[in-house]
Protein backbone atom coordinates (compact mmCIF):
# COMPACT_ATOMS: atom_id res chain seq x y z
CA UNK A 1 0.00 0.00 0.00
CA UNK A 2 1.46 3.39 -0.98
CA UNK A 3 0.14 6.23 1.15
CA UNK A 4 -0.86 9.42 -0.64
CA UNK A 5 1.75 12.19 -0.82
CA UNK A 6 -0.77 14.62 0.69
CA UNK A 7 -0.68 12.67 3.97
CA UNK A 8 2.12 14.59 5.72
CA UNK A 9 1.02 14.56 9.38
CA UNK A 10 -0.70 11.18 9.73
CA UNK A 11 -1.75 8.07 7.88
CA UNK A 12 -5.13 7.81 6.18
CA UNK A 13 -7.77 5.60 7.76
CA UNK A 14 -6.86 2.87 5.28
CA UNK A 15 -3.18 3.16 6.24
CA UNK A 16 -4.03 2.97 9.94
CA UNK A 17 -6.11 -0.17 9.43
CA UNK A 18 -3.47 -1.83 7.25
CA UNK A 19 -0.85 -1.39 10.00
CA UNK A 20 -2.34 -4.44 11.68
CA UNK A 21 -2.18 -6.67 8.59
CA UNK A 22 0.93 -8.30 7.10
CA UNK A 23 1.37 -5.77 4.28
CA UNK A 24 4.03 -3.20 3.41
CA UNK A 25 2.99 0.39 4.01
CA UNK A 26 5.14 2.79 2.02
CA UNK A 27 5.14 6.48 2.91
CA UNK A 28 6.46 9.49 1.03
CA UNK A 29 7.41 11.63 4.06
CA UNK A 30 10.20 10.54 6.48
CA UNK A 31 8.48 11.97 9.58
CA UNK A 32 5.64 9.45 9.22
CA UNK A 33 8.05 6.59 10.02
CA UNK A 34 8.73 8.21 13.41
CA UNK A 35 5.04 8.05 14.35
CA UNK A 36 4.22 4.78 12.58
CA UNK A 37 7.15 2.35 12.98
CA UNK A 38 5.68 -0.33 10.69
CA UNK A 39 5.90 2.00 7.69
CA UNK A 40 8.79 2.29 5.26
CA UNK A 41 9.98 5.59 3.79
CA UNK A 42 10.54 5.42 0.02
CA UNK A 43 10.76 9.09 -0.94
CA UNK A 44 8.56 10.93 -3.38
CA UNK A 45 6.99 9.05 -6.25
CA UNK A 46 5.62 12.14 -7.99
pLDDT at 45: 84
pLDDT by position in tens, the chain (length 46): 899 888 889 999 999 999 899 889 999 999 999 999 999 999 988 7
Q: pTM for this structure?
A: 0.72
Q: In the chain, at which residue ranges do the beta strands (DSSP E only) sit? A: 25-27, 39-41
Q: What is the CA radius of gyration of the chain?
A: 9
pLDDT in the model for residue 5: 87
Pairwise CA distance, residues 35 & 46, whole Å: 23
Domain boundary assignment for the chain = 1-46
Cα 10 to Cα 3: distance, rounded to the nearest angstrom:
10
Amino acid sequence: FVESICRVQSLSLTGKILQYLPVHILVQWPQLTEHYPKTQYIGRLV
